[in-house]
Structure 1
Amino acid sequence: MKAMVLHQTGQPLRLEVRPDPMPSPGEVRVKVEACAVCRTDLHVVDGELPDPRTPIVPGHEIVGIIDRIGKGVTGLGIGTRVGIAWLGHTCGHCSYCTSGHENLCDEPAFTGYSRDGGFATHVLADAAFVFPLPRCEDPAATAPLMCAGLIGWRCLRMAGDAQRLGLYGFGAAAHILAQVARWQGRDIFAFTRPGDVNAQKLALSLGAAWAGGSDELPAQPLDAAIIFAPVGALVPQALRAVRKGGKVVCGGIHMSDIPQFPYRILWEERQLLSVANLTRADAETFLEIVPKAGIRTTVTTYALEQANEALADLRAGRFQGAAVLVP
C-alpha cells in the first residue's frame, strides 16, 4: 500500500510504501476510493491538536470498498462500499457511551489522529464504526459527507429550531449544511472572509438569503449562528448577531483564543455551545437525509501524492467546497 505519513507536526507528509495491513478481529480493511481533506487534518499536521500519534496517516472522511474482513465481523461483506468517519472506536462502557453520548467517550480512538486514516490506498477500521453506502455512485463527492456533513448535521441539531441561521466560514461543512437547512425551510445567512466574493457566490447559489463578510451584521438578528471558521474573534461577533435567547454553536475541534468580550452580548439568555465529534446515530440519520435533501458537494480532487498541496490550498482558502484525495 501507499500512504502519506506525518512523522513530525509542522513538517510535510511523506509518501511511503508499506505492506498491506491485515485486519485484526473485529476489523475490516478498506481499499480507499476517496478521502476528503478536513480542516481537522490541517490542525493535526500543524500541531494544533495535542499529542497526535506519530507516525500517523491523516484522513478521516473516507469512502472505499471492503476487501478483507477480520474474524468475528458480521453484517459486512467483501465488496461493500462504506464510509469511515473521525470517531473510529469507543470503549462502550464509560458513562458517556452508556448514556447515548459516545462522542464524549473517555477512551476513544480517532481516525487519522490516534489510528491511521485515509490518506492512503488502504485503511483498517473497526467494523462497528463503518457505514454502508449502498446509494453512493461518486466516492469523491460522497467523502466530504463523512465529517464536514456529519459535524455540520450535529451543529444544526444543537442550533435547535432556528429559522434565521447564520453560518460563519463558508467552506466544506457550511456548503453542505446550507443545503440541508434550506431543505428544512430555514433561511441561511452566509458569513465569509471579508471580500471572498467566490464563497459568497457559492452560498447564494445554494439558496442563502444573504451572503457577506464576517465583519458585517445582518439587517435583523439571527435565531442562531454556527461558527465553522477556527477564528475565536468570530465568537463575540456572532453573539452580537443573534437575538435574545439565541444560540452560537462552535463547530470546530480547534479555534484560536476567544478575545475578551462584554457580558452584555451574552446576557439575555444567549447561549454559547461547542460540538465535539459525532455519534454513529448522527451518521445514520444524516446519511438517510442526504438523498432526500438532494445534497450535492463541490469538490476539488487531488492525487494521493498531492496531499501536501491539498493541505496548503485548504490553509490558504484556494478552493470552494472541499478538497478530496483520490488514490
Structure 2
Amino acid sequence: MTEPGAPLKAFVAETTSPMGTWVRVSVTASGVCNADIATAAATGPGASFPVTPGHEVAGVIAELGGQVEGWAVGDRVAVGWFGGSCGHCAFCRAGDVVHCPERKVPGLSYPGGWAQSITVPADALARIPYGLDLSEAAPFGCAGVTTFNAVRGAGTRVGGRVAVFGIGGLGHLAVQFAAKLGYETIAIARGGDREELARGLGAHHYIDGNAQTPGAALKELGGADLIVYTASSTAPVDELLTGLNTHGQLTLIGVDAGSLTVPVARLVVNGHTITGHLTGSAHETEEAMEFAVTTGVRPMIERMPLEQAGEAVARLRSGAPRFRIVLDTARGK
C-alpha cells in the first residue's frame, strides 16, 4: 500500500541485513486474516507508507543479527500476530508478552509477511516442528494459537462440554482442538450443509442456527461449560448465554464494532464469565503446532500466489473463503 485506500500492488523493496537481536526470514507462506483487512486499507491514523500487511508468516531464517542467540540460518520458523515485546514491563516479566504495551505486530509495527522476506525481532520467532508443512504452519501464528489457547486456557473440567460458535477460519480449528483435548464438542453454524464437515473435524453434536435457537438447543444437550465464540457479529451472544452452564465461560475471539447487552441478574445468579481472548506468545504458538503434529489438527487452507494478495483481501471482505487463505511466495501469477 502506497497511499490510504489504494489497491495493493507488488513492488521491489530493498533488503537490508538485520541488526542486533533482529533476524531476516525468507518467507514461504503468509496467511490472510480478517485483521489484515484494516491493515491493507491503511486508512488509520498515523499510517506510514508503504504498508506491507501480513501477520501469519512461515519460512526459513536467512540472516541473523549480531546479538541473536539460539537460532541458526536455515531454521524453520513462524511469526504471528505477536511480533515482539519490550521484555521489561510488568506484563513481560509475568510472561504475558501479548499484552505488553509496547508489543509489536507485523504489518503494523514493521513491514509484514506479504513479501518474500521479513525482518523481525528474534523473540517473535516460533520454531516449526517437522511434520508440519510451512503452508499449514503459517495460520498457527494467529488463528491456530488463538483458538488453541482459548480452549485449553479456560480451565474447563475434564470431560466437559465445549461449544464452538461459528465454523469458519477460526471455528474449524477450535472444533478440532476441543475434540482432541478430550471435550464433548458441539459445533454451531448456520445451515445444515456444514454438519458433515463439523463432524469430520471432531464435533460430537451439530446445531444448525437456522433451524434451532442455538442457546436453547445447547441447553437441551445439557448445556456448555465453555462457549468459544468465533463469529464476527456479537448480536447472538445474549441468547447463546441461555445454553451456558452454571459457572460456565463464554470466550470471545471473533469481534465486531458492536457491544454486548447481557442481563446482569442472569450473569450473577449463574456465575457466568464472559471474557475476551487475543492471541498467544511465540512459545504458545510452538505448543499449538507441536500439539497439532501429535494429534493431527490442521488448518483448512486455500493457496494463492503472493502477487494475488489484493484478490485475496477482496475475497475475504466478500466472505467467499470458508477457512484460511495462504499466500505462497513460490507460486507465480
Within 2, Cα distance between the matches of 1:203 and 1:7? Answer: 41
1:294 paired with 2:296, answer: yes
1:216 paired with 2:214, answer: yes
Alpha-carbon distance, 1:302 to partner: 0.6
* Aligned counterpart for 1:173 among listed residues 170, 174, 181: 170
Partner SS for 1:15: coil
Q: Which has the higher strand share?
A: 1
- 1:1-327 aligned within 5 A: 5=1, 7-8=3-4, 10-46=5-41, 53-161=48-156, 163-192=160-189, 194-195=190-191, 197-214=192-209, 216-217=214-215, 218=218, 219-220=220-221, 221-252=223-254, 254-267=255-268, 268-327=270-329
Partner SS for 2:102: coil
1:272 counterpart letter in structure 2: I
Partner SS for 1:165: strand
Alpha-carbon distance, 1:245 to partner: 1.2
Question: CA-to-partner distance for each residue in 1:190-209, whole Å, 9 max, x for gaps?
Answer: 222x23x4444321211212
2:302 counterpart letter in structure 1: T
Partner SS for 2:293: helix
Kept in 1: contact 2:309–2:327 (CA 8 A): yes
The alignment-based identity, stated in percent, is 29
Flag the 1:243–1:209 CA change in 2: closer, same or farther, 3 A: same
Alpha-carbon distance, 1:11 to partner: 4.0
Within 1, Cα distance between the matches of 2:146 and 2:197? Answer: 20
Kept in 2: contact 1:21–1:123 (CA 8 A): no
**Structure 1 unaligned residues grouped into runs of 5+:** none
RMSD: 2.2
Alpha-carbon distance, 1:49 to partner: 7.4
Partner SS for 2:130: coil
Flag the 1:48–1:56 CA change in 2: closer, same or farther, 3 A: closer
2:165 counterpart letter in structure 1: Y
Residues matched between the structures, number: 319
**Would you identify which runs of 4 or more consecutive aligned residues in structure 1 move more than 6 Å?**
47-50
Flag the 1:261–1:128 CA change in 2: closer, same or farther, 3 A: closer
Comparing 145-154 and 209-218, the one that deviates more: 209-218
Within 2, Cα distance between the matches of 1:318 and 1:308? Answer: 14
Partner SS for 2:59: strand
Alpha-carbon distance, 1:152 to partner: 0.7
Comparing 100-109 and 272-281, the one that deviates more: 272-281
**Structure 2 unaligned residues grouped into runs of 5+:** none
Partner SS for 1:307: helix
Within 1, Cα distance between the matches of 2:105 and 2:63? Answer: 21
Flag the 1:47–1:242 CA change in 2: closer, same or farther, 3 A: farther
Comparing 168-177 and 24-33, the one that deviates more: 168-177
Question: CA-to-partner distance for each residue in 1:254-303, whole Å, 9 max, x for gaps?
Answer: 42312433224423210110112322332232232121111122111111
Partner SS for 1:22: coil
